A = this chain, B = another copy of it.
């Protein structure tokens, strides 16, 4: 006979904290607290297995459940010295949900179970407090009616039926507050509540305590599959198969008088991380009152004055809990007639700031080891974002939202907070920003900041994006061009905000009835995806101030110091190297400051965009000779750019990808742009139109790009190889080490790579002869096509390194365009078709399977081949861990994600020891 019910009480529990999967977090911790001698009201937990049995068997309970509940209930009665349903000395219980992870507010709870007309009299007698008893009773009828009997509003307009009755009675009695109602009024309320139940359900309100109890248990299990819970699980990727436990706890009351209280607290400050008891409480109140916000709770420190003994006990328990759990706890307590009861403890949710402080402080306190400090449970790598990005001042943001200026929510694609004036076109943004100057301290005025608001962005918008503080798009997902470039630039970015209606002609963006014009202020929160009208104040990150802006000294920021120590611990255990995706010296320098050990991907596209005229001459060229002439003009610019990168990286490896995007991206697609280009180049518009038309592709993602360019136009590869190697030679002559790695994109066939590598080697030979200096260099390839994974053994014959381009590998492997998948991905995630957005987290089984094949076959051919990843996934913690597991040598990510990758890599090493 399976054990379905776990009792706790009287200093002993059948469960413990390790049994979270079976008992849920709440149940496991109630048991644990009981075991370590804390004052927990007795009760029992019905396991999550009962919940899964219930769903697997047509909503039927296991046969044995009732007997086990009765047994546990009897033990509870014995410990609490009261009897469930007894008219003299009634035991009241609550029934609370509790899954293995906290899902705050998603599922149901019923309090005061066991109250009826008869036990009510016992409660009055026992407590001597008629008003309390009747108030408890009316609350119970209301809660049970809502949760168990389903008396909820039927439409959004309708108000809660019980609230409605309450309002009517207050109106009749001409009183304002609930507390102004007399005992007689409360009795009348109960009568009316019960009548409403009868009217709506056709049945009498249940008087039988056991009927109430089983009804409540059923509701808790049912609530595992309510809409909110389902959505919440989906958001966090929790499977429905986990189920919830149901916790039956003896009721204790914080609302029986002024020697009663109820409160919630954190053992340390979960926002700042400071080591300070943090929480709030209310005298003479029920737990829900603290959260409801009708009365303003007091800070926990005041309890010391109001109930010094209780406070002392609580403070002691705070210490016990932190020592016992070795982590900051989020607790609930109730004081009933001077006696403290612990109702819940769990690891406290925390900001990224607090997480770092907690972890480092607890190492210093000897509570945890360094390896524990950097575990994912302590610091989810993504939370480090908060230490790097500017954030909105919470007060300012709250105010702006309170004013109804929260417009919409998009996909949070580039973390941080940005406020600025709206610009719709990249060149407008660029010229607008150029019209302002920073003051002597480098500060810029709010008016000088731009949010670039577009339907979507394209490579033509790069300079405007660089000029803007934030980018907001109506289309595209977390891997759209806007998102990708923003993250690399460290720009705040919200994408796919489909509520925006952008009118480029009128230069307005409309959301519902709100119309914002060009020049209006807008604020976007890249952490949450929120888009707000108006200006919200931001504040800079201390870590960035120290490492990048150098406006703070390390000694001035304890956050920085703790961050730095934590990163050192991470570095000491991780196996993966961390590189960065950077095209410019300043990006490279920032990345190195964040700990990057090389450049994993330098895209050379921007170099062509920066010198668009010769680039366009090349595209228009009718002969190899003309093309070479145009390329010769580009050579010195690219060489200069590469020199800057090599200098910034000081001998660290620099992987440079040859030209990748299709040529049509470098041509203007609108009539105005084409006319301008024609004038500039001295050709007719028809010539431009014709070329644009000729370069048009049905599926540009699968078209004439990557190494295909260098195969049809070998002179492009030659020019780029020359620029890279001449730069390397020049920088080496300055006495700085260089380690260039030339990377050929979109290779699927060995001969593709061979042909390009041959060009590079021939060029290298010439350059080294001309310069009289030789530098070591490597030629490798992106692995970003399924064929490349399959043929990796073949390709490794030539490739000195592999770098997985998981963006394109995901697009091709799944047959899913990241620019187009918005039309169905929502249905996919909601329908549990895909566990996560595959452009955010590597699709381990599919794309990951291809990667594994690529690694195995590549290494079988060339044992020591260096393998990395430079797709956007390289900065996503779960993906970084996957890369560790399949044995990559490094991951490369945008500069601001380097610390995140470092931490994730360390966690991967620890988790796979």
**Chain A contacts to B: CB under 8 angstroms:** 697-704, 706, 708, 711-712, 746, 748-749, 751-752, 755, 784-787, 790-791, 794, 808, 811-817, 819-821, 823-824, 827-828, 831-834, 843, 845-847, 849-850, 853
Q: Of B791, B813, B834, which contacts A812 at CB under 8 A?
A: B813
* Cβ-closest 5 pairs across A and B: A786-B786, A702-B817, A699-B817, A787-B846, A703-B820
A820 touches B755 (CB 8 A): no
B846 in contact with A712 (CB, 8 Å): no
With both beta carbons as reference points, the residue of chain B lying nearest to A824 in the complex is identified as B708
Q: A828–B698 contact, CB under 8 A?
A: no
Asked whether A699 lies within 8 Å of B749 as measured between CB atoms, the reply is no
Give the residues in chain B near A700, CB-CB below 8 Å. Answer: 698-699, 820
Given contacts A812-B786, A845-B791, A846-B790, contact A824 B702 (CB under 8 A): no
Bound-state Cα–Cα, A814 to B791, Å: 11
Asked if B846 and A815 make an inter-chain contact with CB atoms under 8 angstroms apart, the answer reads: no
Contact call B711/A820, Cβ cutoff below 8 A = no
Find A702's partner among B815, B834, B850 (CB 8 Å cutoff): B815
Q: Which residues of B are found within 8 Å of A708, using beta-carbon distances?
A: 824, 828
Contact A843 B698 (CB under 8 A): no
Known contacts A787-B813, A813-B786, A827-B711: does B701 contact A833 (CB below 8 Å)?
no
| A701, A708, A790, A794 pick with most chain B CB within 10 angstroms | A790
Task: List residues of chain B with CB within 8 A of the CB of A706.
Answer: 815
CB pair A845 B790 closer than 8 Å = yes
Asked, given contacts A755-B833, A790-B845, whether A820 binds B712 with beta carbons under 8 Å apart, the answer is no
How many monomers of this chain does the complex have? 2
In the complex, which residues of chain B have a beta carbon less than 8 angstroms from the beta carbon of A711?
Answer: 824, 827-828, 831, 833
B699, B751, B843, B849: the one contacting A701 at CB < 8 Å is B699
Q: Which residues of B contact A749 (CB under 8 A)?
A: 833-834, 846
A702-B817, A711-B824 known; A831 vs B755 contact (CB < 8 Å): yes
Query: Does B808 contact A748, Cβ atoms closer than 8 Å?
Result: no
Residue of B nearest to A702 (CB): B817
Q: Is the CB of B752 within 8 A of A697?
A: no
For A846, give its contact among B698, B702, B751, B791 (CB under 8 Å).
B791
Give the interface centre of A704, A784, A794, A834 by most chain B CB atoms within 10 Å. Answer: A704
Cα(A704)–Cα(B846), bound, Å: 19
Question: Measured between C-beta atoms, what is the minimum distance from A861 to chain B in Å?
Answer: 14
Given A827-B712, A850-B786, A815–B815 Cβ distance below 8 Å?
A: no
Residues on the B chain within 8 Å of A824, using CB: 704, 708, 711-712
Question: Which residue of the partner chain, among B784, B787, B816, B843, contacts A847 with CB atoms under 8 Å?
Answer: B787
In the assembled complex, the Cα of A699 lies from the Cα of B480 at a distance in Å of 13
Closest CB in chain B relative to A757 CB, distance in Å: 13
Chain B residues, CB < 8 A from A786: 786, 812-815, 846, 850
**Contact residue among B748, B828, B845, B847 (Cβ-Cβ distance under 8 Å from A814):** B748
Give the residue of B699, B755, B827, B828 whose beta carbon is less than 8 angstroms from that of A699: B699
Instruction: Report chain B residues within 8 Å CB of A794.
Output: 845
Asked whether, in the complex, the Cβ of B814 is within 8 Å of the Cβ of A785, the reply is yes
Q: Are B703 and A790 within 8 A (Cβ)?
A: no
Q: A817-B702, A820-B699 are in contact. Are A831 and B751 (CB under 8 A)?
A: yes
Q: Is the CB of B785 within 8 A of A833?
A: no
Contact at A698–B817, with CB atoms within 8 Å? yes
Pick 10 A–B contacts, CB within 8 A, sort by A. Answer: A697-B819, A700-B820, A703-B817, A703-B820, A708-B828, A711-B831, A748-B816, A755-B831, A786-B813, A787-B847
Distance between A183 CB and nearest chain B CB, rounded to angstroms: 53
Closest-CB distance, A798 to chain B (whole angstroms):
13
Contact call B820/A752, Cβ cutoff below 8 A: no
> Which residues of chain B are within 8 angstroms of A791 by Cβ–Cβ distance?
845-846, 849
Name the residue on B nearest A713 (C-beta). B827
What's the least CB distance linking A477 to chain B, in Å?
12
Which residues of B sit under 8 angstroms from A704, Cβ to Cβ?
820, 823-824
- Distance (whole angstroms) from the CB of A231 to the closest CB of chain B: 18
Closest residue of chain B to A698, judged by CB? Answer: B819
Given contacts A711-B831, A833-B711, A845-B794, contact A815 B698 (CB under 8 A): no
On chain B, the residues within 8 Å of A746 by CB distance are 815
Known: A704-B824, A794-B845. 11 other contacts (CB 8 A): A698-B701, A699-B817, A701-B815, A702-B702, A751-B832, A755-B833, A786-B812, A787-B814, A787-B847, A787-B850, A808-B815
Query: How close is A306's CB to chain B, nearest CB, in angstroms?
Result: 56
Inside 8 A of A847's CB, which chain B residues have their CB?
787
Smallest Cβ-Cβ distance to A751: which chain B residue: B833
List B contacts of A820 (CB < 8 A).
697-700, 702-704
Q: Which residues of B contact A701 (CB under 8 A)?
A: 698-699, 701-702, 815, 817
> Are the C-beta atoms of B790 and A850 separated by less than 8 Å?
yes
CB neighbours of A853 from chain B (8 A): 790, 853
